[in-house]
Amino acid sequence: MKQLKGKVALITGGASGIGRATALLFAQEAAAVAVVDLEEAGARAVAQEIVDGGGRAIAIRCDVSCQDDCRRAVQQTLATFGSLDILFNNAGIIRRASLLDTTEEEWDRVMAVNVKSVFLMSKYAIPVMAGRAGGVIINTASGWGLVGGRSAVSYCASKAAVVNMTRAMALDHGRQNIRVNCICPGDTDTGMLRDEARQLGAPEEEFLTEAADRPLGRIGAPEEIAQAVLYLASDASSFVTGTALVVDGGGLAG
């Protein structure tokens, strides 16, 4: 049985990393997928991969920090597939720097992409879901949304905001049968993780080795995080809302 048969999902940051893995997995589970990303070529490649595999997908270029773009992404998804059942607010960026080394422009950009995007996409998706039988929203937070991290003050602040936004949204929209949860991944083998090494001026392999220092002894794969997103998107989690699901190989366990 396909877990998402008949569902329509919109995934931001869908061109790469966790977003791409989730788009492909959702398509395998029979969902129609809107792959949303600022990198249009990457989004188109993922959508085409889904279509070539017999699924349904479209690519939408979108700056998730822009209100008009977010409104258009939801409208285009509706116009193409006739519904919107799952919103995965996954787009995100990181700036590895302490407070004193973070510029105002960098702070504003991290907050815009990581936090404002959740506000904007949800603002336009929720009325659609509420007008139907409900829906599911999953936000990408981070382990650093639950505990602090060094040289990442803007990222930590943004992801903590996502965690508590998730709780507030779950309270506000539960009566509309809209479940809202977030995932808190640990270090995962994505382009963003490797970019952190470059920002810190650290050798990439050394950085990845240090990131693997957790009970399972390795970093995560995007496909593993996607499985957690699928759980929250599916009926398997029908009584789960307002939670932050940690998927980090035990990194926060002790």
Indicate which residues carry an active-site annotation. 155
**8 Å CB contact between 170 and 242:** yes
The 10 Å Cβ neighbour count of residue 39 is 14
How far is the first Cα of the chain from the last one, in angstroms, to the nearest whole number? 38
Q: Concatenate the DSSP letters of all residues of 129-183 into one string.
A: HHTTT-EEEEEE--GGGTS--TT-HHHHHHHHHHHHHHHHHHHHHGGGTEEEEEE
Closest CA to 230 of 118, 90, 79: 90
CB-based contacts of 180: which residues, under 8 Å, 6+ apart?
136, 137, 138, 139, 166, 169, 170, 173, 241, 242
**8 Å CB contact between 65 and 92:** no
How distant, in Å, are the alpha carbons of 37, 58, 87, 160, 211 from that of 249? 28, 33, 25, 20, 11
